[in-house]
Amino acid sequence: MKRARQKAVVENEAPQTSQKSKKQKTCLYGSVFGGSDLHASMDWGSLPHHVILRIFQFLPLVDRARASSVCRRWNEIFHIPDLWRRFEFELSQPATSYLKSTHPDLIQQIIKRHADHLQYVSFKVDSSTESAEAACDILSQLVNCSIKTLGLISTAKPSFMNVSKAHFASALTVVFVNSKSLSSIKIDDTPLDDPSLKVLVANNSDTLKLLKMSSCPHVSPAGILCVADQCHGLKELALNYYILSDELLLALSSEKHVDLEHLRIDVVSENPGQVEFHTIKKQSWDALVKHSPKVNIVMYFFLYEEEFDVFFREETPVTHLYFGRAVSKAMLGRIGMNCPRLIELVVCANGLQPLDDELIRIAERCKNLTAMGLGECGVTCRGFIEFVKMCGGRLTQLSIMEEVLIPDNDYSLDRLHLEVSKHLGRMWFPDMMPTW
């Protein structure tokens, strides 16, 4: 009898527990969506506007398009301007590329309904000329745009260079003239020319802050000087060395110009002896640093050893140096003598002679150095430890290939990592492969 009564009590309590749990879940949903009597069979079409918008913002475009077919209200939210401020057009040829591509119907829908909503736009194209031309065709139709940032990205070889200069300039002109509020432009490896830059300046001089245009062979020193003279708010600039000039640095140093934050310079040569590199005067560099004392000056070198002669003969305020090809001991010695602002140095290759003296000179004179990378070079273990000891804990990044280190009578590789770790104040090991 006692067991029967206990069983009856349990059976009577079970529905109450279930009902209580259901009530708690209802209260939870109600607290989220603003109602306390939400039914289990929820009407997703009646979700608050801001909740649906928030969901859509986290969804990839394909999923967002699918969700828009749930009901008419979701479809309306799918087209609200806030969801179309930022868009990346992906253009590729299915027969020759593994990249996905934005569907042509969606592109036409964007041009028709959302061109005036676009603000942050980029184009990612494969190596085909057809994709680059398709990007120009889209740009030509953005007549009602108010774009703030524009990026043209070639995922493989620079396909925009195969587009005719007239077609490319015409497409850019549409955007430059109609936007009037461009603040950031990344158009490396394109047939950009001086007349296009003049159109850009005429319509966006008050808003332009970032311009990246490395490997644009149709731009002259006069063309980029026009930008510096008129765009006084320019904070970041990337260009090739051949259009860098004393006049440009002085224009960036004028009283009307804001402090420059980042200057990237690509120094490139495809064939030795083909390009004759000019010299920038020390006074021009000094004027820039005096005007913008915190500016980062980044230089990427892709030269042959015999082409380095004109560089770093005098003090140069470079902060970040990257050498993509072999660089001589003499060149590294000049860097130690004439680059006191150096923060980061990456050397991908060097000869067979150890670089002990050069690294120690860099440690002595480059007091701001915090990052170092060495690839196919050579340095004795003793010389390397001396370098690290002089730099100490300020070396926050130290990437050295294991084969770079030459064992000597004082240090083996096993002992080396303990000594280096002690001077850095953290555990350190040489790399098996480059990390830069």
Tell me the per-residue pLDDT of 206-244, one tens digit each, with 9 for 90 and over: 999 999 999 999 999 999 999 999 999 999 999 999 999
Q: Are 339 and 313 in contact (CB under 8 A)?
A: no
Closest by CA to 148, choosing from 106, 178, 168, is 178
pLDDT score recorded for residue 173: 95
CB neighbour class for 352 (10 Å; exposed up to 12, middle 13-18, buried from 19)? exposed
| pLDDT tens-digit series, residues 55-82 | 877 877 778 778 877 788 888 878 777 7
Distance CA 280, CA 298 (A): 15
Distance CA 325, CA 376 (A): 10
Backbone torsions φ then ψ of 72, nearest 5 degrees: -65, -40
Mind giving me the DSSP string for 255-319? TTSPPP-EEEEEEE-SSTTSS------HHHHHHHHHHSTT-EEEEEEE--GGG-TTTTSS-----
Q: Are 182 and 208 in contact (CB under 8 A)?
A: yes
| pLDDT tens-digit series, residues 323-367 | 998 888 999 999 999 999 999 999 988 777 889 999 999 999 999
Residues 6+ apart with CB under 8 A from 139: 123, 171, 172, 174, 175
Backbone torsions φ then ψ of 423, nearest 5 degrees: -75, -30
pLDDT score recorded for residue 153: 92
For 212, which DSSP code?
E
The tokens for 379 are 């340095």
pLDDT score recorded for residue 68: 79
Give CA angle at 436 (184, 354), nearest 5°.
135
pLDDT score recorded for residue 189: 94
pLDDT score recorded for residue 410: 80
The tokens for 26 are 């209802």
The tokens for 1 are 């009898």
pLDDT score recorded for residue 78: 80
249-257 CB contacts, 8 Å cutoff, 24+ apart: 249/280, 249/284, 249/285, 249/287, 249/288, 250/284, 250/287, 251/225, 252/228, 252/288, 252/291, 252/292, 253/287, 253/288, 253/290, 253/291, 253/292, 254/291, 256/232, 257/228, 257/232, 257/291
Count of residues making up the chain? 436
Stated pTM of the model? 0.82
For 116, which DSSP code?
T
Alpha helices in 34-82 (DSSP H): 49-58, 61-67, 72-78
Distance CA 317, CA 312 (A): 10
CB neighbour class for 418 (10 Å; exposed up to 12, middle 13-18, buried from 19)? exposed
Question: Residue-wise pLDDT tens for the chain (436 aa)?
Answer: 445 454 444 445 544 444 444 444 343 334 434 444 444 455 666 778 778 778 877 877 778 778 877 788 888 878 777 788 888 999 988 766 666 788 888 899 888 888 888 999 999 999 899 999 999 999 999 988 889 999 999 987 889 999 999 999 999 999 999 988 999 999 999 999 999 999 999 999 999 999 999 999 999 999 999 999 999 999 999 999 999 999 999 999 999 999 999 999 999 987 776 678 999 999 999 999 999 999 999 999 999 888 898 999 999 999 999 999 888 899 999 999 999 999 999 998 877 788 999 999 999 999 999 999 998 888 999 999 999 999 988 999 999 888 888 888 888 877 888 999 999 999 998 886 555 5
Closest by CA to 91, choosing from 57, 58, 139, is 139
Q: Which residues pair with 349 in a beta bridge?
A: 326, 376
Tokens 């490396």 belong to residue = 188
**Pair type for strands 344-349 and 379-380:** unpaired
Alpha carbons within 13 A on the beta-carbon side of 400: 27
The tokens for 184 are 């950031």
pLDDT score recorded for residue 31: 40
Backbone torsions φ then ψ of 348, nearest 5 degrees: -80, -25
For residues 259-282, one letter each, b for 16 or more C-beta atoms within 10 angstroms of the residue's C-beta and e for the rest, the string is ebebbbbbbebeeeeeeeeeebee
Q: Are 229 and 178 in contact (CB under 8 A)?
A: no
CATH for 49-83 (3.40.190.10, 3.10.450.30, 1.10.3720.10, 1.20.1280.50):
1.20.1280.50
CB neighbour class for 154 (10 Å; exposed up to 12, middle 13-18, buried from 19)? buried
pLDDT > 90: percent of the chain: 56
